[in-house]
Amino acid sequence: ATYLEELGYNAAAVFPNFKYREDVPGWEVNIPEISLKLIAIRSGTVSLGFSGNVGLKGYGAMIILGCVVTSAKLTPTNPIPQDESFCDECKLCQKVCALRMFGSDDLDTITIGGYAFSCAKRVNLARCQIVCGGLSGLDKSKKWSTWSPGRYPFPTSDKEVMRLLATSINNALKWPESGDEIGVDVYELKNHEDFLNALGDDKEKLVNMIKETKLTCGNCQLICWGDPKETAENYRILTNSGCILQKETGEIIVLPHEEAER
């Protein structure tokens, strides 16, 4: 943004997460100021994968998008053709989502500027909020987990998912400190001034939200490395990594799934 301003254009960085529109009813849930993902797939910056993550050939989904809104006049570009997508539909991303947020083989399709884009249907976003938010980590198979010590039976309906969300939040509030809390304190980041500026008017609320959120997943993105052999190896490592448990002292331990179940 600074570079474009130096060239004489208006420019502003877009904060990519935790910041949602307040001018639309329901904004609290999932309407970002601008969807980086949708702009990026339509402009041909990246492709949309089966998981719903975006990626690039050779890199898979292991990329992070940034966005600047500017008054500079840019030349519009078209999407990456499907046969040049990074995604070979191996569907291993589906199997590393502990609560199978996109566990159906049905597709969601969205049309932007005359082009259609598809990815696996979102079964229920709360399944990701529970796992990615660190409230539960035990996989449907019960053979491995994320870094969350939360262990609950696999919910089979939306009603069970919402019950699990409420129960797991209540239980997580009682977890002992592990000494390894992983929420991010924005004030400890290098260059945090720039970061805070991008947060806009609700800085303190957002800073607290980021600090309290203990993200313990991202598997659907992290597993996908743009090379089928490496992605398969990532899947093998993760699904043989055991289960996380927390002792009463707060200590986090890793056990084989048979021992963790006892």
Residues that bind ligand SF4 (CB under 6 A): 49-51, 60-61, 87-93, 96-97, 101, 128, 131-132, 217-220, 223-224, 231
Is residue 252 within a helix (H) or strand (E), and if so which, with residue range?
Answer: strand 252-255
Closest contact distance (angstroms) between CB of 20 and ligand SF4 is 18
Closest contact distance (angstroms) between CB of 225 and ligand SF4 is 8
Q: Smaller CB distance to ligand SF4: residue 1 or 161?
A: 161
User: In the Cβ-directed half-sphere of 123, how many Cα atoms lie within 13 Å?
Assistant: 21
Closest contact distance (angstroms) between CB of 88 and ligand SF4 is 5
**Range 37-51 burial, b when 16+ CB lie within 10 A, else e:** bbbbbbbebbbbbbb
Q: Smaller CB distance to ligand SF4: residue 69 or 162?
A: 162
How far is residue 21 from each of residues 31, 32, 125, 188, 202, measured CA to CA in Å? 6, 6, 18, 27, 12
Q: Smaller CB distance to ligand SF4: residue 44 or 218?
A: 218
Q: Smaller CB distance to ligand SF4: residue 212 or 251?
A: 212
Q: Smaller CB distance to ligand SF4: residue 1 or 102?
A: 102
- Whether residue 54 contacts residue 47, with contact meaning beta carbons closer than 8 Å, is answered with yes
Closest contact distance (angstroms) between CB of 95 and ligand SF4 is 9
Q: Smaller CB distance to ligand SF4: residue 132 or 164?
A: 132
Closest contact distance (angstroms) between CB of 91 and ligand SF4 is 5
Closest contact distance (angstroms) between CB of 131 and ligand SF4 is 4
CA angle, corner 64, sides to 89 and 67, nearest 5? 120
Rounded to whole angstroms, the Cα distance separating 216 from 135 reads 9
Rounded to whole angstroms, the Cα distance separating 260 from 151 reads 10
